Amino acid sequence: MKELDTVELRDVLRLLRDHWIAIVAAVLLGTLVAYGWSLTQKPRYAAEAQGLVSAAVADAGGDPSQAIYLRQIADSVAKSSTLTYVPIAKSRNVAEIVIGNLGLDVTAESLITAVQVTPDPESPILNVRATASTPEGARTLADAWIDAIAVRIQQVNQESGAGDTVSLSGVQSAALPSSPEFPNVRLVLGVGALAGLVLGLVYAFVRNTLDRRIRTAEVVERLFDLPVVGTLPVDKRLNETNRIVPEADTTDYVKSDGKHALAEALRELRTNLQFMNVDSPPRIIVVTSPLPSDGKSTVTANLAVTLAASGQRTVVVDGDLRKPTVAKSFGLVPGVGLTDLLIGKAELQDVLQPWGPSGNLWILGAGSIPPNPSELLGSNGMDMLLHEIAREAIVLVDAPPLLPVTDGAILTARTDGALVVISAGRTTTDELGKAIQNLERVSGHTLGVILNRVPPRGQVGRGYGYYYTSYYGSQKSGARPDAAAAPAPAPAPSAV
């Protein structure tokens, strides 16, 4: 079995398609969790106010040029003072002035942490940004802090004997904030959705990696380098008592409610077998599966009916001598059959049972269940019998599954090859790989794989089910445009 070394775009798209519900659910869950978290957080509002630092201009004595020069000096002093006043603006003294003015019951240290003071790099302006639990509190604190800075600068100047040469005045009062800066609900929701998306994708990737079930024909072809010769959609009409679709034994198309989908898929399978080797098409075909309940017996029965409907003389041999089901599939009464032939208790013409209106199909049941199925199936008598029938008819052998017993592999070694039936969404790559290995171990040839029970919509291997249902199902009546008239029944093979 090959390994997938690269991830292609179609693999990613299939991953998203197969797990989109989980991914969307993860995104919604992440968003809801983020929103719930935001509701539990105490909101914090922010407001900004600005104060202008200005320096007194000396008297120029009526000289305009001197006035300009002195103004430039004052501006330079104001800008340099702005940087000098930042530590003062963030000091404990300013905080205590604000506490006194507003009557706050907090410490100066805690109040300082709620305020940021930054100088404007281009102008002598101090920016004060204050945060509080309410919009009004943030605005009041920012404005009060500007006023307190002005008072403290005046105190410092008086203490140093500089007088009022440099001062600060408010130039822009704080606006009432309309929304909290924390939590930022939009940002929180975005982060929650993104986190949910990441978790959803991780879940999908892990689930897809651990899920070894085969769902598409491409997986079989890429991993095992085997052709998928048929993709058979689910048909709800098939059950334990009804294993053959009504449309399989006719060349006409029944175009009502898209019920012909399986019959058309069987016809395509028949065509693929006919063109598998144009010069020497397979005449003895084993139909098997990795495990029981993959639908191999139902596939064998319907393929045989489809072959017979096209004029091909066909014989179905029940090679499952441990749990025979062919007679039940065709509604026949079990009796003498293959085992009786192999031990010489019956003749071929006595045990073959004709079936269906085509006149081209015969059934060879299993007969009595022997104590040594493997020995009988691998005997020279079995080999001679199959080749005798194959001279004038196509032989389909319904064989036991490959993993529980070796009977199917033993049969395949003496035939033209095996069709391995797998169940979409059920059979794993490990099971199919071991089944192919069992065939190769006895030099058996695998003709191809049949992907069975493919959902008609959704996870369709090649889109066949959707194609049949939507295209042919839209036509209510009439024959298939390119369908030939049903061939006349062929005479029974001389071997029978």
Tell me the mean pLDDT per 10 residues along the chain, length 496.
63 87 97 96 96 78 67 80 92 96 95 96 94 96 96 89 80 94 94 97 91 90 94 88 75 49 92 87 95 94 94 95 93 89 90 91 93 93 95 96 95 95 95 96 95 74 41 41 42 51
327-352 burial code (b ≥16 CB/10 A, e <16): bbbbeeebebbbbbbbeeebebeebb
pLDDT at 250: 60
DSSP 128: E
Question: Using CA atoms, how far apart are residues 79 and 116, in angstroms rounded to an integer?
Answer: 19
CA 149 from chain center: how many Å?
A: 62
pLDDT at 69: 62
Instruction: Quickly count: other Cβ atoms within 10 Å of residue 39's Cβ.
Output: 8
Q: What are the C-alpha distances in Å from 188 to residues 33, 198, 202?
A: 10, 15, 21
| 115-119: strand order across its sheet | 115-119, 125-132, 45-55, 166-172
What is the CATH architecture assignment of 217-474?
A: 3-Layer(aba) Sandwich (3.40)
CA angle, corner 298, sides to 453 and 242, nearest 5?
100
Indicate the pairing of strand 45-55 with strand 125-132.
antiparallel
Question: Using CA atoms, how far apart are residues 16 and 348, in angstroms rounded to an integer?
Answer: 55
Question: Using CA atoms, how far apart are residues 191 and 197, in angstroms rounded to an integer?
Answer: 10
Query: Angle 64-89/135-160 helices, nearest 10 degrees?
Result: 120
Do 45-172 and 217-474 fold alike per CATH? no
Question: Using CA atoms, how far apart are residues 182 and 131, in angstroms rounded to an integer?
Answer: 10
pLDDT at 487: 44
Q: Would the pTM of this model clear 0.75, i.e. be above it? A: no
230 strand-pairing partners: 450
Please say whether the beta carbons of 334 and 366 come within 8 A. Answer: yes
pLDDT at 163: 64
Place of tokens 């822009």: 172
pLDDT at 496: 46
Instruction: Quickly count: other Cβ atoms within 10 Å of residue 395's Cβ.
Output: 26
Place of tokens 């007088």: 163
Collapsed DSSP state (helix, strand, coil) of residue 167: strand
DSSP letters spanning 179-219 = S-SBS-HHHHHHHHHHHHHHHHHHHHHHHHHH--B---HHH
Question: Using CA atoms, how far apart are residues 422 and 444, in angstroms rounded to an integer?
Answer: 18
SS3 readout for 399-420: CCCCCCCCHHHHHHHCCCEEEE
pLDDT at 407: 94
The domain segmentation of the chain, as residue ranges, is 9-41+184-210, 45-172, 217-474
Please say whether the beta carbons of 163 and 157 come within 8 A. Answer: yes
The CATH code belonging to domain 45-172 is 3.30.1890
